[in-house]
Amino acid sequence: MTYQDEILGRSVTALERAADALERLAEDPVIEMETGPPVCPHCETINPTVRVEESSAQGKLGEFVIQAHCLHCNSVIYALPVQWQCVKTTDEAGEILREMEEIRGHGFNGGAHTGAPPGSNAAGPGDL
């Protein structure tokens, strides 16, 4: 067997493995990503109340990082949304948030969510 035959054989094997993997992925194209409740990395409060300052920053939505102040421990945290759901209306957003609360069970401080931080233009579930 020549060197070229060996390389050709390895290439064919690699392509066959890649094709098998792609076929398996096509059968179930949804990639499962485990998510949990938002937790302050400083005080470990689950779904803490935070303050977010207005920003005129711009960029791609999928690359935004949210800087917030945890009002439980007064520390700065950086939130990296793992999954985005974009909707047309606040009614749709509110419905999604309510469904998430029911499904995940780590909702909004045991149902006592107060909505967006005072003085902000952000809408929380209580405001939608």
Q: Where are the domains of the chain?
A: 1-31, 50-118
CA dihedral 9, 11, 12, 13 (to 10 degrees): 90
Q: How many other C-beta atoms can be found within 10 angstroms of the C-beta atom of residue 16?
A: 10
Give the tens place of pLDDT for each residue, 48-90: 999 998 888 888 888 888 999 999 999 999 998 877 888 999 9
pTM, two decimal places: 0.52
**Residue 94: which residues within 8 A CB-CB, separation 6 or more?**
125, 128
